[in-house]
Amino acid sequence: MKTVSENESFGGVQGVYSHASEACGCEMTFAVYLPPQAQQGKVPVLWYLSGLTCTHENAMVKAGAQAWASREGIALIFPDTSPRGEGIANDAAYDLGQGAGFYVDATEAPWAPHFNMWQYVVHELPALIFDNFPLDPARQGITGHSMGGHGALTIGMTHPEIYRSLSAISPIANPGASDWGRKQFTAYLGADEAKWQAHDATVLMRERGYPGTVMIDQGAKDQFLDLLRPEALAEAAAARRQPLNFRLIAGADHSYFYVAGVMEEHIRFHASRLRP
pLDDT tens string 84-103: 999 999 999 999 999 999 99
Structural domain boundaries in the chain: 2-273
Per-residue pLDDT tens over the stretch 45-62: 999 999 999 999 999 999
> According to CATH, what is the number of the domain 2-273?
3.40.50.1820
- Please name which of 194, 205, 258, 263 lies closest in space to residue 229, comparing C-alpha atoms: 205
pTM higher than the cut 0.85:
yes
The set of residues, in sequence order, having a beta carbon less than 8 Å from that of 210 and lying 6+ positions away, is: 156, 157, 160, 166, 242
Predicted confidence at residue 228, as pLDDT, reads 98
The set of residues, in sequence order, having a beta carbon less than 8 Å from that of 124 and lying 6+ positions away, is: 21, 22, 23
Q: Is the pLDDT score of 276 beyond 90?
A: no
Question: How large is the greatest C-alpha to C-alpha distance in the chain, in angstroms?
Answer: 51
Task: Say whether the peptide bond before residue 110 is cis (omega within 30 degrees of 0).
Answer: yes
Rg of the chain over all Cα atoms, to the nearest angstrom: 17
Q: Is the pLDDT score of 182 beyond 90?
A: yes
Predicted confidence at residue 32, as pLDDT, reads 98
Over residues 126-143, the mean pLDDT reads 98
3-state secondary structure of 180: helix
Sheet holding 163-169, edge to edge: 2-9, 12-21, 26-34, 75-78, 43-49, 135-144, 163-169, 214-219, 244-249
Active site residues: 146, 222, 254
User: How many Å apart are CA 103 and CA 101, to the nearest integer?
Assistant: 5
Q: What number of residues does the chain have?
A: 276
Q: Which amino acid belongs to residue 218? A: Q
